[in-house]
Chains A and B, each alone.
Chain A
């Protein structure tokens, strides 16, 4: 019985954590993680941008690449 309860909790925790990751994705908070994954895959061995520097670049892209917002 205790085992099943623990399993239920684990499932719930997993569900909540993936919901949280989806919400972070929707608001765009995972951008740095995505960049790091990409960097590790394509430029392995070279140091990636620091977090602060990355976010600055990331936000400033909006100055030259406008995203549309609809009515």
Chain B
């Protein structure tokens, strides 16, 4: 046992030495190209930071003419009041939302701190469940600011119209659900979920939507995500080129005999990782500095997974016994299919329904979704989303172990 362990350790040490030697050689060969790429990546990142700052400045200058504060008096004390307050707080033309009692709210209105009070009656939530409205939502407006009050009331009326329309839709939906054989209690859950999704659609909000529901589309964030994904995948093409160049040659025979297949594969993946670092670290830092990403690590983990998934597939592809040029063409075609079906070039929602559904099972799709959502939420995507986006790594590793290894 001790002898076996010592033999194993000795093999591991030798593999490490071989790996280091292979890496040194790779580094030496790619030194100049790596430096040039790093410079380009840094320049691109600086441009990105400047662009993002400029964009924020323009956004800030576009502040709405109307900027109001208001109070919510939530006598119902249900989830509805909290949802409303949370929503209003994020509206650009609302400078402050106070969660007050009626007395506090009136004091604020008198002191001209606010121009509107919304009073939610104690039976509001119950009434929304039954659909029979007895007590209305009251709106108190500041008489000393008629222009602002008028605009605020106009907005509230617009929302009220939407909600009124929603009531009809939701209750109709719930009724149909029960008629179609659904459970009475379940129908309320479904109706509530549906109503929230519709509400989100109207108000252009992401917060309440579940995965796969309506997502607002932002071209700039999609472009950022797409760039990150493409930059993460490019080093994998280097892995393909390196593998196909040496596959089956006497030089590879010599490497196989000297360092073994594991060191060869590890060195190839590690040299791609080096390119990944050079291409992506400056960009990720730029996104962080410019405030587009709050947390860099989950995004970096996904981009790393995107690289390894593709690189492992390319390790296998590179061993196909056809001329090098054919392998490279196949590789680039695979790359293109992966990014198109992953929704990197265009959102998959523009595809036909069957293709849109199928695209969700391609390796880059969950990663692109994670990136887009992370940028949309400024890096606050959850750990469960992160883990569920990593699934393609496992099949890719299996493919690499079976087909990507240099065999005797």
Query: Is chain B found bound to chain A in the same assembly?
Result: no
Mark B residues whose CB is within 8 Å of A: none
